[in-house]
Structure 1
Amino acid sequence: MDDDGTKDDDKDETEDEKAERQFNEMVAMADRSLNRFNSGPAEVRDATIAEYIETGVLNPETAQVDEIETTMVEAAFALHAEREVFKPLGLTSAQYSTYVDEADMPALRRALVAGDWGTLHRHAQAVAAHIAQHGDSNADLY
Structure 2
Amino acid sequence: MEITLTTPALLFPALSLLLLAFTNRFLSLASLIRNLKSIYKTSHNHLVYGQIQNLRIRLVLIRNMQAFGIASMFSCVLCMFMIYAGWQTAGTIIFGVSLILLMVSMALSLWEIQISVKALELELSDLEQDEEIAPLGSV
**Which structure is higher in helix share?**
2
Global fold match (TM > 0.5): no
Q: TM-score when scaled to structure 2?
A: 0.31
Higher RCO, Cα 8 Å, sep 6+: 2
Give the greater-gyration-radius structure (CA).
2
